Amino acid sequence: MNIDSIQNGIVIDHIRAGCGMQLYDLLKLGELDVSVAIIKNVTSHKMGKKDIIKIDADIPVDLDVIGFVDPDATINVIRNGVLVEKKTLALPEKLTNVLKCKNPRCITSCEQELPHVFKLADRAQRLYRCIYCETKA
């Protein structure tokens, strides 16, 4: 794919440098049958360095996951070569099946079918806790 000219797809911009791969993994982009480009350490006037992810397909992306990894990232939706939508993010109040509780005695480790849910406990510290056992993420 020509990474500069996506016709229909999503560009996740202004990702904190070094977070691109984590986002790629958490969004499970490697499991999709679409072209994805991660561009690392791009020079940015605003941020010094940043990462960018370009997805060459108009697929739904989990905004909560992106907001969790980097609430300052921006999402550009491109259709027919034109930027049609810009989305900004915030730290999500709740994360479902993004993180796994590490407490071996948590109910989620014996009840496999339970969703792993974390709630934002402290916005300033970006602290999440398991809703079942309160363990920190």
Binding site for Zn ion (CB under 5 A): 101, 103, 106, 130, 132-133, 135
**Minimum CB separation from Zn ion for residue 121, in Å?**
13
Please give the DSSP secondary-structure letter assigned to residue 6.
Answer: -
Taking the least distance from each CB to Zn ion, the nearer of 35 and 109 is 109
**Minimum CB separation from Zn ion for residue 130, in Å?**
3
Taking the least distance from each CB to Zn ion, the nearer of 16 and 116 is 116
CB-based contact 135:102 (threshold 8 Å): yes
Rounded distance, CA 38 to CA 51, Å?
A: 7
Q: Is 82 helix (H, G, I), strand (E, B) or coil?
A: strand
Taking the least distance from each CB to Zn ion, the nearer of 89 and 95 is 95
Which distant-in-sequence residues (6+ apart) come within 8 Å of 37 by Cβ? 1, 3, 53, 54, 56
**Minimum CB separation from Zn ion for residue 112, in Å?**
13
